[in-house]
Amino acid sequence: MPTQPALDVPLPLDAAGDPTPVLSAEPRDPHTLVARLAASVADPVLRVLVAATLVGRLGRGVFLAVTAVYLTLVVGLHPAQVAAVLTVSGAAGVAASAPAGYLADRFRARRLMFAFMALEGVALCGYVAVQSFAAALVVAALVGMFDSAGNTVRMAVIARAFEGPARVHARAVLRTVTNLSIAVGSLVGGVALALDSDLAFRLVIGASGAVFALSSLVVLRLPARVDAHVDERMRPAPARASLVERPRSPWRDPRYLTLSVLSAVFGMQFGLAEVGVPLWIVHHTQAPTAVVAALLILNTIVVVLFQVPLSRGTDDLRHAGRVMIVAGGLMAVACAAYELASGHRPWVAVAILVAAALAHAFAEVLSQAAAWGLSFELADPRAPGAYQGVFSMGYNLGAMAAPVLLTAAIGLRMGGWALLAAVFVASALGTTTIAFRAAHDGAAATSR
């Protein structure tokens, strides 16, 4: 499938009178850091999305830092109940992904995104009033549902607002901003943890929800070009159905469904970093527990520094496939290194874990870049919301299953790590095969 080059000139005004510039994936002559940063968000749509993400994810970061402790110490839930609450939240996110994408193809994406973000902020505030397990389940389900729906609509907005390399670039910029905001929010959440009082926890959680809700106002500044076009929203009348080619449903697109499944499998590496590796370090290595936080910080640094530059070119199907192969190899190396850290002296274990975490972080960056490029390029452009909804649902399924599956695999020690390495490599090879075949089919169609 040929890719479209980035443009440095604005497109004509759309029907609503909004300018439609296409973001250049590689700004020219970036003499200074400030110039590079400014050029990377030159597009008005991306500026709005960055602003909303910066504020919203700051509030989300505060919440993530204190949730488990709050539910345990303040609400009084048992660890198993906390795990159930988080699982229910993930399940609600899975259920909401596809419907949200369907809605994004039929209604104004700006209003949908605003509504979902505002409702998520209100739901986050609802944790302040939680006093029982049942109430926590209800609030968690609402938070998971609105968070997933909002993210799916945002992906549809990106798919409509940008083309070719600019899509992946926009996604990479937003992920970088997300990591920065969550990191800062986590530090703020640490204040509540340090104060260790019920009032401090409730104030911080209420404030984080309010901040997230307020960030929804920013998305109302998005231009009309991010909304579904009239021909996307209107169903043809029965008498005209044969004359109008309907968008292909992602549920009837085997290639896209397979891509979504494989991406979900590889996406379990997030759960490995957040759950599996910390448990492995604590129970199976002599490394100090503090190294868990250090490795998470290292991951954030790698993402912030390298996500944007290493995402360039992944709108090209073949390049995305090659990038995915590298990511699979790096994950295999990381799994082997994590296992190798067991049984060594503390300083040796720390050195091995740092090397493993670096390989893991770069695998994460590369796999995300390849997944974004493929998820955009292989989707039917007439139904971006539906396709991104299915793709997001796959990731949410992987995230929900990851803690249980990874914990069971790591319990097998060396055999478990070997199994995980094989799974990651197999999913990367499958994704690469899809990318190369799609590129071949696209080239053959163009030559005819």
Task: Name the pLDDT band for 40 (thresholds 50, 70, 90).
Answer: low
Q: How confident is the model at residue 2 (pLDDT cuts 50, 70, 90)?
A: very low
Domain count, the chain: 2
Task: Find the helix or strand (DSSP H, E) in which 10 lies.
Answer: strand 10-11
| pLDDT at 9 > cutoff 60 | no
How long is the chain? 448
Distance (Å, whole) CA 161 – CA 345: 52
pLDDT in tens, 397-446: 888 888 778 878 887 777 889 999 999 999 999 999 999 999 988 765 55
Between CA 137 and CA 201 the distance in angstroms is 19
Q: Quick one: average pLDDT of 378-400?
A: 89
* Domain co-membership, 362 together with 215: no
> Is residue 317 a part of any domain in this protein?
yes
Per-residue pLDDT tens over the stretch 330-355: 999 999 999 999 988 999 999 999 99
In a shared domain, residues 267 and 207:
no
Q: What is the pLDDT of residues 203-219, one digit of tens each?
A: 888 988 898 898 899 99
Most confident of 1-15, 360-374, 406-420, 430-444: 360-374
Share of the chain above pLDDT 70, in %: 85
Domain that holds residue 363: 250-447
Q: Give yes or no: residues 133 and 274 share one domain.
A: no
HSE-up (13 A, CA, CB side) for residue 113: 31
Which residue bears the tokens 């995402």?
Answer: 311
User: pTM, whole model, 2 decimals?
Assistant: 0.78
Q: Do 199 and 290 belong to one domain?
A: no
Using DSSP, how many helices (H) and how many strands (E) does the chain show? Answer: 16, 2
The domain boundary, picked from 230, 260, 287, lies at: 230
**Do 198 and 268 have their domain in common?**
no
Asked whether residue 239 is domain-assigned, the answer is no
